[in-house]
Each structure stands twice: as C-alpha cells, then as structure tokens.
Structure 1
Amino acid sequence: MTSPAGNCSTCGQPRLPIIYTERDDHPEHSCPQRHEWPADGDPGAVPALVSGDHDERGPATDVNSIRTSDGRSWRIGTASDVGWIAGHTAPGLSVTAAIPPVFDAYATFHPPGGVSLEAHEHAVVRELAAATPDQPWWLGYLDTGAHDIVFPQAANVSLYQGWSYVLVEAGPEQALTWRTGHLRGDGALPDLFFPADRSWLVSALWDDTWTDIGGSMLVLAGLRRNPLVNARLVQPDEDACPPGRTRDQYGTAAGTPG
C-alpha cells in the first residue's frame, strides 16, 4: 500500500508510504512529522499526531521478529549479532571507541558546509551500497530517550558504555526511510549499521557530531571521492574529532546511562 499524493496541511512535508497505521481496516497516512490523515477523510482537515509506535508485534511465539503495518516481518537482532562489536572497542577519543580494530582503514564523515543532511545521508548510503554485494544490513538505533528508535517495543542490545540499541535486519532503503530524526539532526540514518558480512561498520557515538566508519580501503575510497560525504581518513590511535568539530566536554562517554 502507498499513501496518496499531497503535502501535510500542518507542516507542508510530503506524506510517506512507509509510516502509517491501520485501525479498523482504515489506513491512515502520515508525513515525516507523524501528522496523519484518514485515507477517506478530508485532506484539508487538521491531522492528529501519530503514536510513536511504528510497529506491531508479530506472533507471540516469534520474539525475534517484528511486523510493520505493511505486513512485512523484520528480524530483531540479539547480543550474538553484535558480539563482534561489544567488548571489542576501547573508551577514549580515537575511532576505535566506536569501531573495533579489525578493519584495514578508518574514517569519519559529516555533512560539508552548504550540503543538506538529507543529501549527505543519501550519498553515504549510495556509496556503501555500490561497494557492497547484495545482502541484508543491520540497522541499530540508539535509545537516548529523546530520539526515534523506529521500533520502541522491540528488545534491545547493549553496546559501548552500556547503551541500548534496537537492532533490526533490513537494508539500505530502510536505513534512509524508517527514521525521523537522530542525535545529529533531522536525518534518517541509524546510529549504527553494517552489512551481514561485516565488511564495514558505521557508528555515531552518543555525543559526537560526526560519524565513524571502518572498512576496506576500497569502501573508504568511494566515500572519499564523493564531495557530499566529506569523508576523512583517521588512524586508529588518533583523536577522531574532525577539524572544526567540537566534542562534548565529557567526551564520548557523555550520555552514559545512570
């Protein structure tokens, strides 16, 4: 099912086909700000606010999957899916606070001046998808208590300083469309994501205003060539903070629960 054409009468943004709920068999469609309209209602009417729950639970016996309102089931990740990350990073200021030291090369990226967050994130995903064989991607959403985690009722995994993530097996399309806002702005990208073959890992830590990545030189070369990505190589033992960026006074451990 897709939503009808048109813009939100409240915020002016286009309606999206991927964020909607079905109540009493009547679809309701929403914009990125979660304003909704009944499909058979007055499109000019003032919309209501959609609940933060994007999901519906699957069968009670399948605790490791979740079902979206379009009928698709998505696998929820467990500790074993991130076991190669958990316990293999070191608190500090280097890129290995976010990325285990198992890759050939490391980099950081953030939107360059004059480039929108949307254009930047689309360029990142485009380059990564082009360099990665077709396969599922794991998408991880950091639960800060203030940002969209897409599936708020799903079980979570623990990473880094005991932070909770919702981890879902999906793909590049969902990485760009499921979410509405994160720590770095009004973007869609997960806070952590990697392909099933673990050939690269993207991770943005709690208070960082940039994103870290580890992968092969070939993967990072594609990111570096794209001016919309603004990728910069870093060594595993150097401060990962990009020039012109600032770090929270408490460093990467800021925001630690408790």
Structure 2
Amino acid sequence: MKLILNGCSNPGLSYTEKYKMDIIRLYDYFLNLCPKEIYEYTKLQDLIEDQINIDGSEIRMVIPFLFKIGILSEENAIRGGKKLRKIIINDSLFTKEGLCFAQFLKIDKNKNSFNDVQKEIVDRIFHKFGLMQFEKLRNGENLIYDDLLVFLKKYKTIDKNEFFILTDSRKENKLNLLEDLVQKYRNHEVDGIEIKHDPNAFQYVTKLLLQLGILKKNQEGFLVLTNLANMYFKEDNYEFKQ
C-alpha cells in the first residue's frame, strides 16, 4: 500500500535569532519612529526596508506572522478577503501580550551571558508566551495546529509520515479515515509515502512548535506534547474541527 499525500500551508519561518531581532527592530520602529497613520501594506514594507534596513522578503513573512500569533492587533489590519492591504499604525498596534513579548525578546537576546539558572527561567517564560501564541494559531485559519493537538491527545506520538497522513486527511476531507490509516501505518502495512505538495510543512510547523515549547522529542525520536502543553490542555476528548 503506497500513499500519495499533501502537506499544508505553513509560516515559512521560525524563531531564529535573526527573526527575533527583526521583531525587536519592528517594535522599536513602530513605537518610536514610524508616523502614526494608515499605510498601504506594500508602501509600509518599502518604508521599513528603507529606514531600518530589514530585507523586504523578511518583512513579508514576519508582519503577517505577528498578526497570526497575536503580537499585532487584528483590529489594525485592513484586509481584502484574507490578504493584508493596509495597516493602521497607532498606539494600539501591539497587543498587550505583544508589547510584553517584544520587551521580553530584548532580555532573551542576551541569554548567552546568563548563568544556567537564569537561562532556565528565560526559557520557561518563553514557553509561557509559546502557549499563548499556540492558542492563537490553533484558533486561526490554518487548522494544522489544532489538528496536531487533537492527534497527539488521541495517539500520543507523531512522526513525519503521520504528520502528512494528518494534513492530507484534512485537505481531502477524509478525517473519518484517519484512524484506519494511522493503524495501517503503525502496523507496517504502508509500503511507501510520496509527498506531492508542501513537502516543507513538517519542518516549519514542527520546528516552530518545538521552539514554543508545545512539542518535544521523546527517547524514540517521536514528537510528543511537552509536560507544559499537557498541563495546559488537560482534556482528552478534543475533536477535529469540521
């Protein structure tokens, strides 16, 4: 039995040191330098690139991502359908959580100079922010985040192939067949798997959730929910959204 599967859309970025610094620089720019008005999104990109020298391709990934995870307020986004058209720059651009997170990143960037206890505290705080950001993601338009939570609550572990079995089941509206496919895969009844579309989805989605402290790898190398995530998401009867 061979499976031809599809991935899903993904953020295309994770919390690298470079992107963390981009967030800090955008925070300082929007709060202190950028005139308060309504901007065409493309014109704002040009302005940012010119004034604080962040590459345009990075801006196009980071700003939409900050809206998705609740750092920037959705009330400041003017959309045409799902596409971001304009941004309102004012004192309410950053959510309360966003203001705290950007300020926290200024502490996090100096983590290498901290002792082990201080580093552990910083990591714990980062993961508390991670829970809030994951909540925003799982209630957003990309269902993979909520689907992963439901899958892990039911099956406890997930690997790369099972990730694509999950995304394909969602994309093809065949979640009713998911349990049978997972059982066949785990019983070694699947001879091969080919990923047709979005093959990088697993890498980007899981890397972000590992950084946020939602996922970790167990001793066998499978992805599982962290203790923090299991404590926060206590129920065992999560259901896939229809």
Please, what TM-score do these two structures have when normalized by structure 2? Answer: 0.24
More helix by share: 2
Please, what TM-score do these two structures have when normalized by structure 1? Answer: 0.23
User: Which is greater in Rg?
Assistant: 2
More strand by share: 1
Tell me: higher relative CO, structure 1 or 2? Use CA pairs within 8 A at least 6 residues apart. Answer: 2
